[in-house]
Amino acid sequence: MARKRCNTCLGIYDDVLPDGLRYFHVCPPVAEYFDSTKAPIDRATADSIAKLGGRYYVRYVERPNARDENAIKGRDMSTRGQPKKAGTGTTEIPPPAPADLVDAELIVVAPPPIV
Amino acid sequence: MPPDTAAILELQRAHRDLAATSARAFYFSGDDHLRLTTFNSAAAVTLAVRGRFLHVDGRIEPFDERHVPNTDRTSASSLFARGEGWLLEAQIFATAGTPRRGQCFAILEVVRGLTGGIMPLSVLAQGYVTDTQRRGFPGSPLEYSTEGPGVLRSITGTDPAAGASVQETVPTNARWRLLALIVTLVTDATAANREAALTIDDGATVFVRAPAGVAHTASLTNRYNWTAHADRFTIAQDRTVTIPIPELWLPGGSRINTLTANIVAGDNYGAPQLLVEELIED
């Protein structure tokens, strides 16, 4: 059992879960941003538009070099059981510090209402 | 010399037993063999195939074979040569590991040939096996992997990087019934009204979209809890939003995503926690 960071999406996961079963990581999609004229913009520009209360469009597409650890199925024995997409690999990272394991309740002073 | 009554009775009993078993015994020509195929997700499982084989010379031989399944739900097979005679009975169970129903699906069949083109001839037993529950020939009904209750699993998913969405995928050869998913979203100081939604797709096309229905403003932490059999409600102090989702069986490759309107680069989802019922799909 190891804690890993995906080198493509930087997501963190355990490769074996507490129930002993393997976990198969798949990178989430990545967003592509467009301004109100449907021209492509970068993330920072989209955030700037959001800060100003403006409008932009977003489309989710598969992340470049996405990793998909799910096993290939089929009758081809040379590929069966291999990960679907290796992506850019993973980096093993240390397990979380004990403090991270505590499910800390969020305490908010005078929380704003949910609208 | 007086007849040996005990010996005669023993012979009569043997003939009666043979007559009773011959109706269910399976004849092996010598080119026929047992094959065990498994689809398994549980860790460190070893299966045993035990039974008795009646050879043509009248010998009854007990046998005990071993098979180690894969742990990624892909198929693994073992062939066991038995010679010529009759398979009287056989059973399959786990001798190592603790697979639960829904985790280790086994098929015991008769095939012709040991190498090259192997021809399946007959299925003897088929269904889930555990360390305490067995599949046997004769007697056990042939079961599909997708029928009956599965194993309940609580799964911690990937903790995505800031600005990225949550995505969990139903593993290859698994079938999930999504019962609940909870995840925390921490927003940064950028002023914007985010709105979280859960989408479920078939690997390409979305067929469920369950928006939270609340605006998530800057510098806040909300918990989003998508749950089957729930009403939509919010708890202000705990900042938890519960959203109902349909209870669906999802085939392998289906994706469970968050889709967040107005998400900015500094917003950060935590690792999702899912409760699913799982079966082997293949």
A chain contacts of residue B172, beta-carbon cutoff 8 Å: 24, 70-73, 84
pLDDT (0 to 100) of residue B191: 84
pLDDT (0 to 100) of residue A46: 84
Q: Sorting pLDDT into bands at 50, 70 and 90, what band is B13?
A: low
- Across chain B, mean pLDDT equals 91
Q: Please report the number of interchain residue pairs, chain A to chain B, with beta-carbon separation below 8 angstroms.
A: 132
Q: Sorting pLDDT into bands at 50, 70 and 90, what band is B12?
A: low
pLDDT tens per residue across span B229-241? 888 877 777 789 9
Q: Which of residues 245-264 of B touch A (CB under 8 A)?
A: 252-253, 255, 257, 259, 262-264
Per-residue pLDDT, averaged over B81-105, amounts to 96
Alpha carbon B108 to its chain centroid, in Å, reads: 17
| Distance between CA atoms of residues B58 and B19, nearest Å | 14
pLDDT (0 to 100) of residue A108: 47
Q: Is the pLDDT reported for residue B33 higher than 80?
A: yes
Q: Measured on CA atoms in the order B181, B182, B188, B192, is the torsion positive or negative?
A: positive
Q: Is the pLDDT reported for residue A101 higher than 90?
A: no
Q: Tell me the three state secondary structure of residue B59.
A: coil
| Cis amide bond preceding A113, omega within 30 | no
Q: Is A26 on the interface with B (CB under 8 A)?
A: yes
Q: Which of residues 55-84 of A touch B (CB under 8 A)?
A: 60, 68, 70-73, 80-81, 84
Half-sphere exposure of A24 (CA within 13 A, CB side): 24
Tell me whether residues A71 and B72 touch, CB distance under 8 A.
yes
Q: Is the pLDDT reported for residue B92 higher than 60?
A: yes
pLDDT tens per residue across span A22-62? 999 999 999 899 988 889 999 888 878 877 878 888 888 99
pLDDT (0 to 100) of residue B2: 56
Interface test with B, best of A25, A70, A75 (most B CBs within 10 A): A70
Per-residue pLDDT, averaged over B149-162, amounts to 96
| Distance between CA atoms of residues A24 and A15, nearest Å | 7
Q: Is B68 on the interface with A (CB under 8 A)?
A: no
The share of chain A scoring above pLDDT 90, in percent, equals: 44
pLDDT tens per residue across span B204-214? 899 999 999 99
Per-residue pLDDT, averaged over B20-44, amounts to 87
pLDDT (0 to 100) of residue A75: 77
pLDDT (0 to 100) of residue B11: 65
**Reported pTM:** 0.84
pLDDT (0 to 100) of residue B127: 97
Tell me whether residues A10 and B161 touch, CB distance under 8 A.
yes
Q: Is B219 on the interface with A (CB under 8 A)?
A: no
A chain contacts of residue B43, beta-carbon cutoff 8 Å: 16, 20-22
Q: Give the minimum alpha-carbon distance from A54 to chain B in angstroms, rounded to a whole number.
A: 10
ipTM above 0.85, yes or no: no
Q: Is the pLDDT reported for residue B10 higher than 80?
A: no
